[in-house]
Amino acid sequence: MATDRDTVLEAAVGVLSRRPTAHLDEIARAAGISRATLHRLFPGREALILEVGMLGLRRFAAALDTAAVEDGDARAALRRLVDAAVPDAALCAFLAGENQLYDDDRLNDLWEVQIARLHALFLRGQQQGVFRIELSAAWLSEAFFDLVAGIGWAVQDGRLAPRDAAFSLAELFLGGALRRPDTTGTPESTDTAPAVQNDPDRKPETDTP
């Protein structure tokens, strides 16, 4: 029976996301194939890594499609994206950790398309009054993707149960890590500091009265 390339790639990401310098022999063992078979499928380490990266981006693009991130309420769209992206969080972890991937123009172009779609989701959410406006849509996009990657690492290392992954991601990102008071009139928190610092009319603080 022919070896399924995507199955081999998924085995590879399970190894490489934990051990980026793993030898091809280790990857072949994880995939249940010989080193010779691995070499027939992928002529070298660089080719294998690039193919894993392309698989990761294709899966993330598919998650964006499944979640219909361009449609409707941004909060609901983000929750759909959480459910769609978490099953492939290990691939996102690989993408986040393998910087050499982005030397490839084809992969880099595909990444730019997907991150732009995520950016547009957060920008729409800000316009709808769903997401905080003192945090840029670009930063929210990067933070979300990195949290998905973090879920991938945590599940792989046994620090997070797979069944809790989507809930943990949605609650942390949408709710924030800090508990906020329910009442108004409380002292200003550090969460609002960036907006104050970015105020062009604000005069510099000095130590003198």
pLDDT digits (tens, 9 = 90+) for 138-195: 999 999 999 999 999 999 889 999 999 999 999 999 887 555 555 333 334 333 333 3
What does the CA dihedral 1, 88, 168, 157 come to, rounded to 10 degrees? 60
What is the CATH classification number for the domain harbouring 67?
1.10.357.10
> What are the C-alpha distances in Å from 188 to residues 78, 100, 131, 182, 193?
28, 42, 19, 13, 8
Does a structural domain hold residue 111?
Answer: yes
Does a structural domain hold residue 19?
Answer: no
Q: 121 lies in which domain range?
A: 52-178
Report d(CA 118, CA 148) in Å as an integer. Answer: 13
Domain count of the fold of the chain: 1
pLDDT tens for residues 47-99?
Answer: 999 999 999 999 999 999 999 999 999 999 999 999 999 999 999 998 888 87
Does a structural domain hold residue 183?
Answer: no
The length of the chain is 209
Q: Report whether pLDDT(207) > 70.
A: no
Does a structural domain hold residue 1?
Answer: no
Q: Which two tokens stand for residue 121?
A: 């989701």
Does a structural domain hold residue 209?
Answer: no
